[in-house]
C-alpha cells in the first residue's frame, strides 16, 4: 500500500501549517504533496516558506499556485485572469507586503516551483499534483461547475488521481475512471469549519481510497495577527480565518 498526504493553500498561515505537519506525521505517509498558494493573505509568509522548504528537503513534492505568481512577480493577469476589470487595491497591498516579507532568497524558491508534479504509487497508479486543474493554476474544480466541464478539465491528464486545491472547499469526486481529490485549504478554508483541511489518499493494488482530514490550530491568534498588520482588507481576511468562511 502507498499513502499520500495532500495539502495546499497555506496562504501564509504558518501556525496552521505547523499544526498540520504534526498531524500528518502520525499518518506515516509515503509521499507528501503540497499544491500551491503558499504565502498570500496570512500574517507569516516567511515562516510558511521556511516550513515548506523543510518539508521539501524531507521529500515533499511542492508546486506553485496562482497567488504565488502574483507575489513572486506581480503578474496579476496571470494570477487572477477572472478580474477583467482590474485587481483591487486590497489584493495589491497584500501581494506587495508578502513580496517584501519574503526577501530575495525565499522569492527565488517560490519562483522556481513547478506548476505540476507527477507521482507514482507502488501499484503503478499515477497521481497528478496541481493547484487548480490539469494544465491550469486558475481553472479549478469549483462546486458549481457543469459536469461536462469537470470531465473536460479532468481528461487533461492520464493520471488516475488528480490532487488539487485552489477552491478552498474540500471535496472528493470519484468519477469511476478518475478521482479528483481537492484537499481544501491548510490555512484559509472557506467551508465554514475554521480548521485546516488536508487529504489522505491510500493506494492498494489498483484501489484508491481518499478522505478529508481536519486539524485545529489557534484561529484567534492568526486572525489577531492579520488584524494587527493593518493592511487594506485585513479585517475581512481576519474574519475569514476566524469563521472559516470567505468574508469580503
207-215: strand order across its sheet: 61-62, 31-34, 2-7, 196-204, 207-215
The confidence score (pLDDT) of residue 28 equals: 96
Residue ranges of the chain with per-residue pLDDT less than 50:
none
CA distance 36 to 110: 10
Three cell numbers written together for 137: 493554476
Measured in degrees and rounded to the nearest 5, phi and psi for residue 11 equal 55, 45
Q: Please state the separation of Cα 105 from the chain's center in Å.
A: 21
Helix (H) / strand (E) element for 151: namely: helix 147-154
CA distance 57 to 51: 10
The confidence score (pLDDT) of residue 84 equals: 82
171-174: strand order across its sheet: 116-120, 126-130, 161-164, 179-182, 171-174
The confidence score (pLDDT) of residue 85 equals: 86
Three cell numbers written together for 26: 502520525
Whole-prediction pTM: 0.96
Whether residue 16 contacts residue 189, with contact meaning beta carbons closer than 8 Å, is answered with no
* Domain 2-243, CATH: 3.60.21.10
The confidence score (pLDDT) of residue 11 equals: 98
Three cell numbers written together for 191: 467551508
Amino acid at each position: 500500500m502507498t499513502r499520500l498526504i495532500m495539502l495546499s493553500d497555506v496562504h501564509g498561515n504558518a501556525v496552521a501549517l505547523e499544526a498540520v505537519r504534526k498531524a500528518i506525521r502520525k499518518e506515516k505517509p509515503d509521499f507528501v504533496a503540497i499544491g500551491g498558494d503558499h504565502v498570500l493573505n496570512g500574517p507569516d509568509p516567511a515562516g510558511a516558506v521556511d516550513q515548506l522548504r523543510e518539508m521539501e528537503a524531507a521529500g515533499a513534492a511542492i508546486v506553485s499556485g496562482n497567488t504565488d505568481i502574483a507575489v513572486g512577480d506581480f503578474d496579476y493577469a496571470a494570477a487572477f485572469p477572472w478580474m477583467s476589470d482590474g485587481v483591487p487595491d486590497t489584493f495589491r497591498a497584500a501581494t506587495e507586503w508578502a513580496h517584501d516579507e519574503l526577501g530575495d532568497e525565499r522569492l527565488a524558491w517560490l519562483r522556481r516551483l513547478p506548476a505540476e508534479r507527477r507521482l507514482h504509487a507502488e501499484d503503478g497508479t499515477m497521481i497528478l499534483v496541481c493547484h487548480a486543474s490539469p494544465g491550469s493554476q486558475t481553472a479549478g474544480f469549483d462546486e458549481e461547475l457543469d459536469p461536462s466541464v469537470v470531465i473536460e478539465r479532468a481528461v487533461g491528464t492520464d493520471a488516475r488521481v488528480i490532487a488539487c486545491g485552489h477552491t478552498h472547499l474540500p471535496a472528493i469526486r470519484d468519477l469511476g475512471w478518475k478521482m479528483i481529490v481537492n484537499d481544501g485549504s491548510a490555512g484559509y478554508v472557506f467551508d465554514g469549519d475554521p480548521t485546516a483541511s488536508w487529504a489522505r489518499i491510500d493506494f492498494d493494488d489498483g484501489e484508491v481510497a481518499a478522505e478529508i482530514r481536519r486539524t485545529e490550530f489557534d484561529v484567534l491568534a492568526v486572525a489577531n495577527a492579520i488584524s494587527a498588520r493593518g493592511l487594506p482588507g485585513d479585517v475581512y481576511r481576519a474574519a475569514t480565518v476566524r469563521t472559516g468562511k470567505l468574508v469580503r
